[in-house]
């Protein structure tokens, strides 16, 4: 409530304003009276014909237009910003927000455009005099009339708060001196004169989803832009023509894929926004939305790219790059056709002379003259395998707890089953009668008959194997009988996060596995091809292991063929089938 003393001060200012004419500079009155913003609005309104009969009531946060024909409903009172060119002007008076429109005090429009104004509170009729004539506005009516008789329409109707008329900000463009635009999100009104920037970036917002990150730039109006995406460093740069940046609007996103958004001050009339990624991502999608103007950048987080090369006849190497909601994955795959007579696979103990011991996979591959290999079964600290190992029909290590094992017969058939040993030392099932000459244990099972089927509980695996995301190695057989050896890099947030057993099982199904099992993982996960370590071991270097599954070829080593570009779709190799193929 305004006290009698303060009311006297207001009336004194009002009389002074009325002697000066119908247009009052609300900010000047505010400075001289020392009153609040609402009092300044009241002074301006009285000077234009309103009568201050009593103390001005407090303005509620939500205001409603008087009940009459044509009223536009409610508006929200709040602070707004005014930008003229690149100069920000203070607006020490409230504005009204209705729908997507910003309504300013009628006196502010009069003062800014330097045009006379009259307001009749009884009829709620507002008149502006402009060089080309006059215009008449009725409060709560969207339609308004020029002196020429032309009728125009506002997107939202003018309104009255505490007896003070508010009009749409677009009226600031009446005289043609300014082009007016506004952003209802940031509550900024932009007055653009000749030579001023075309648009203003007023803010940046974002949302994260399992499949993407959406970044939204709020604008006063649309403007031409250029989008450039880079892989190294991983980022997107958007250059906006004829654009001013309102304030500091950098944002830290903190998503696994997108780190932050930086908006640089304009240079040469162009503003630049940079989206910093944590790793290389597929091409972003960009587009404009209207009413209000927004520029949207959708950053995809899900992708699946594959490249393959032929290591030698019957052996293919595939690298899979996947984007997941939790982060990136890098998967190295060997696909081996054991029906090809020049190719063979067998496990090898790391110790020399076929004895238990520890060595790096790359050392075992080089020592044995293999063309490729992966780590094998779990092991003790002294190199003792903790699971079945059969080499050339000789059992080097017994099965453990009826866990899953993979066997290879003399004709190249791959078997996956739970294997135990009876009291007489015979394997159950009796793989020897099935012609198994090589076998490697591990577990748990991942895939059975083409579907994910994880047996951690049945095989008594503890949480260090059964639970959580980690680097992992797996082996399996496709529907057309090819052997799959897979190493998933992990524990490297922006390169490859690793997989859970469930994710590994689904990955093996995607790769075409009919049956598959888990092998030793974590820091032990290693794949070597042609003397190169293809994955990135989580220890930063190869860890010594007790055994490895090695791939041999009778063909003299030659340079590999390839690589093939990502997302390519090669045809089947001569003599091979597309069933269960790795590249869809």
DSSP 393-422: TEEEE---TT-EEEEEETTS-EEEEE-EE-
- For the cut 50, the answer to whether the pLDDT of residue 184 exceeds it is yes
65 shares its domain with 163 = yes
- For the cut 90, the answer to whether the pLDDT of residue 237 exceeds it is yes
What sign does the dihedral 542-547-553-554 (CA atoms) show?
Answer: positive
- Counting the structural domains of the chain, the total is 3
Provide the pLDDT for residue 176.
84
For the ranges 182-186, 238-242, 252-256, 374-378, the lowest mean pLDDT is seen at: 182-186
394 shares its domain with 482 = yes
CATH of the domain at 210: 2.60.40.3500
- For the cut 80, the answer to whether the pLDDT of residue 25 exceeds it is no
Please state the length of the chain: 584
- Is 357 contained in some domain? yes
What average pLDDT does the segment 389-405 reach? Answer: 96
- Is 531 contained in some domain? yes
Nearest alpha-carbon partner for 513 in 461, 478, 542: 478
What average pLDDT does the segment 201-208 reach? Answer: 96
pLDDT band for 558, please (50, 70, 90 cuts).
low
pLDDT band for 74, please (50, 70, 90 cuts).
low
Which token pair is 16? 């002074």
- For the cut 70, the answer to whether the pLDDT of residue 40 exceeds it is no
Quote the strand ranges of 162-291, DSSP E.
Answer: 164-168, 179-183, 188-192, 199-208, 212-219, 225-231, 234-240, 243-245, 251-252, 258-267, 270-277, 285-289
> What mean pLDDT, rounded, does the chain reach?
84
Q: CA 537: distance to chain centroid?
A: 27
Choose one of 144, 170, 192: the last residue of a domain: 192
| Percent of the chain residues past pLDDT 70, beyond the cut | 82
| Cα distance between residue 411 and residue 339, in whole Å | 7
First and final C-alpha spacing in the chain: 75
221 shares its domain with 149 = no
136 shares its domain with 232 = no
Choose one of 245, 276, 300: the last residue of a domain: 300
- For the cut 90, the answer to whether the pLDDT of residue 29 exceeds it is no
- Is 47 contained in some domain? yes
- Cα Rg of the chain (Å, integer): 38
| Cα distance between residue 231 and residue 216, in whole Å | 22
What average pLDDT does the segment 371-400 reach? Answer: 96
Nearest alpha-carbon partner for 85 in 177, 174, 223: 177
Return the higher-pLDDT residue of 324 and 558. 324
Choose one of 192, 217, 239: the last residue of a domain: 192
- For the cut 60, the answer to whether the pLDDT of residue 185 exceeds it is yes
153 shares its domain with 270 = no
Of these ranges, 34-38, 245-249, 277-281, the one predicted with the greatest mean pLDDT is 277-281
For the ranges 106-110, 211-215, 216-220, 482-486, the lowest mean pLDDT is seen at: 106-110
What average pLDDT does the segment 316-325 reach? Answer: 97
106 shares its domain with 59 = yes
For 28, residues 6+ apart whose C-beta sits below 8 A from its C-beta are none
Nearest alpha-carbon partner for 452 in 387, 503, 397: 503
Of these ranges, 7-11, 29-33, 85-89, the one predicted with the greatest mean pLDDT is 85-89
Which token pair is 110? 């009069």
Provide the pLDDT for residue 571.
40
Provide the pLDDT for residue 75.
73
User: In terms of C-beta density within 10 A (0-12 exposed, 13-18 middle, 19 or more buried), how is residue 449 classed?
Assistant: exposed
For 478, residues 6+ apart whose C-beta sits below 8 A from its C-beta are 335, 484, 511, 512, 513, 514, 579, 580
For 583, residues 6+ apart whose C-beta sits below 8 A from its C-beta are 306, 308, 318, 568, 569, 570
For the ranges 21-35, 148-162, 296-310, 331-345, the lowest mean pLDDT is seen at: 21-35
Which token pair is 130? 């402009």
Q: Mind listing the pLDDT tens digit for each residue in 120-135?
A: 999 999 999 988 888 8
26 shares its domain with 152 = yes
- Is 237 contained in some domain? yes
Quote the strand ranges of 292-377, DSSP E.
Answer: 294-300, 303-312, 315-324, 327-336, 343-349, 372-375
Provide the pLDDT for residue 147.
82
Q: Mind listing the pLDDT tens digit for each residue in 483-493?
A: 999 999 999 99
- For the cut 90, the answer to whether the pLDDT of residue 347 exceeds it is yes
Residue 142 DSSP class: S
Provide the pLDDT for residue 92.
63
| Cα distance between residue 134 and residue 172, in whole Å | 14
For 109, residues 6+ apart whose C-beta sits below 8 A from its C-beta are 117, 128, 167, 171, 172, 174
Cross-strand partners of 375: 548
Phi, psi of 210 (to 5 degrees): -60, -30
112 shares its domain with 221 = no
Provide the pLDDT for residue 568.
43
pLDDT band for 253, please (50, 70, 90 cuts).
very high
Cross-strand partners of 499: 470
| Cα distance between residue 47 and residue 119, in whole Å | 9
- For the cut 90, the answer to whether the pLDDT of residue 72 exceeds it is no
- Is 559 contained in some domain? no
- Is 276 contained in some domain? yes
Q: CA 447: distance to chain centroid?
A: 31
Provide the pLDDT for residue 20.
39
- For the cut 90, the answer to whether the pLDDT of residue 378 exceeds it is yes
15 shares its domain with 62 = yes
Provide the pLDDT for residue 85.
85
What average pLDDT does the segment 1-18 reach? Answer: 37
Provide the pLDDT for residue 133.
85
Provide the pLDDT for residue 77.
82
| Cα distance between residue 226 and residue 150, in whole Å | 41
Give the 3-state secondary structure of residue 498.
coil
- Is 103 contained in some domain? yes
CATH of the domain at 53: 3.30.457.10
Which token pair is 308? 């393959």
67 shares its domain with 146 = yes
**Location of structure tokens 């304030």:** 247
| Cα distance between residue 240 and residue 227, in whole Å | 9
481 shares its domain with 512 = yes
Phi, psi of 440 (to 5 degrees): -140, 135
- For the cut 80, the answer to whether the pLDDT of residue 63 exceeds it is no
Print the domain residue range for 219.
199-300
- Is 565 contained in some domain? no
| Cα distance between residue 134 and residue 486, in whole Å | 80
117 shares its domain with 181 = yes
């Amino acid at each position: 409530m305004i006290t009698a003393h303060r009311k006297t001060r207001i009336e004194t200012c009002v009389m002074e304003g009325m002697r000066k004419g119908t247009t009052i500079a609300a900010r000047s009155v505010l400075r001289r009276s020392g009153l609040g913003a609402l009092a300044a609005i009241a002074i301006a309104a009285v000077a234009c014909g309103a009568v201050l009969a009593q103390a001005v009531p407090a303005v509620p946060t939500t205001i409603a237009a008087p009940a009459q024909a044509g009223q536009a409903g409610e508006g929200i009172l709040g602070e707004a910003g005014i930008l003229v060119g690149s100069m920000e002007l203070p607006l020490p008076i409230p504005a009204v927000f209705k729908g997507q429109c910003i309504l300013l005090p009628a006196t502010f429009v009069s003062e800014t455009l330097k045009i006379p104004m009259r307001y009749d509170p009884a009829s709620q009729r507002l008149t502006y005099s402009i060089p080309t004539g006059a215009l008449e506005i009725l409060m709560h009516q969207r339609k308004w009339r020029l002196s020429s008789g032309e009728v125009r329409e506002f997107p939202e109707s003018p309104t009255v708060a505490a007896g003070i008329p508010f009009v749409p900000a677009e009226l600031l463009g009446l005289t043609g001196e300014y082009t007016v635009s506004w952003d209802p999100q940031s509550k900024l009104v932009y007055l653009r004169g000749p030579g001023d920037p075309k648009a203003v970036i007023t803010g940046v917002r974002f949302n994260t989803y399992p499949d993407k990150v959406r970044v939204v730039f709020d604008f006063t109006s649309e403007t031409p832009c250029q989008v450039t995406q880079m892989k190294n460093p991983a980022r997107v740069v958007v250059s906006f023509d004829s654009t001013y940046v309102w304030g500091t609007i950098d944002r830290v996103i903190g998503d696994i894929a997108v780190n932050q958004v930086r908006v640089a001050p304009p240079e040469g009339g162009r503003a630049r926004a940079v989206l910093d990624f944590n790793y290389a991502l597929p091409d972003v999608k960009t587009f404009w939305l209207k009413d209000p103007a927004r520029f949207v950048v959708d950053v995809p987080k899900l992708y699946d790219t594959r490249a393959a090369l032929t290591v030698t006849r019957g052996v293919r190497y595939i690298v899979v790059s996947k984007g997941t909601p939790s982060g990136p994955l890098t998967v190295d795959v060997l696909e081996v056709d054991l029906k090809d007579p020049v190719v063979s696979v067998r496990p090898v103990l790391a110790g020399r002379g076929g004895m238990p011991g520890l060595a790096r996979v790359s050392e075992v591959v080089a020592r044995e003259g293999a063309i490729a290999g992966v780590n094998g079964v779990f092991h003790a600290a002294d190199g003792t395998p903790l699971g079945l190992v059969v080499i050339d029909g000789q059992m080097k290590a017994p099965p453990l707890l009826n866990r899953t094992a993979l066997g290879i017969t003399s004709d190249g058939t791959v078997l996956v089953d739970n294997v135990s040993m009876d009291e007489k030392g015979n394997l159950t099932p009796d793989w020897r009668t099935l012609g198994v000459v090589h076998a490697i244990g591990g577990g748990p099972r991942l895939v059975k008959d083409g579907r994910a089927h994880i047996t951690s509980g049945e095989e008594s695996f503890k949480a260090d194997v059964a639970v959580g995301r980690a680097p992992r190695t797996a082996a399996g057989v496709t529907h057309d009988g090819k052997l799959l050896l897979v190493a998933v890099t992990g524990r490297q947030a922006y390169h490859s996060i690793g997989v859970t057993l469930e994710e590994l099982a689904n990955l093996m199904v995607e790769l075409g596995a009919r049956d598959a099992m888990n092998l030793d993982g974590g820091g032990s996960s290693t794949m070597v091809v042609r003397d190169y370590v293809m994955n990135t071991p989580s220890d930063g270097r190869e860890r010594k292991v007790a055994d490895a599954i090695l791939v041999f070829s009778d063909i003299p080593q030659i340079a590999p063929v390839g690589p093939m570009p990502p997302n390519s779709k090669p045809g089947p190799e001569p003599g091979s089938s597309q069933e269960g193929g790795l590249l869809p």
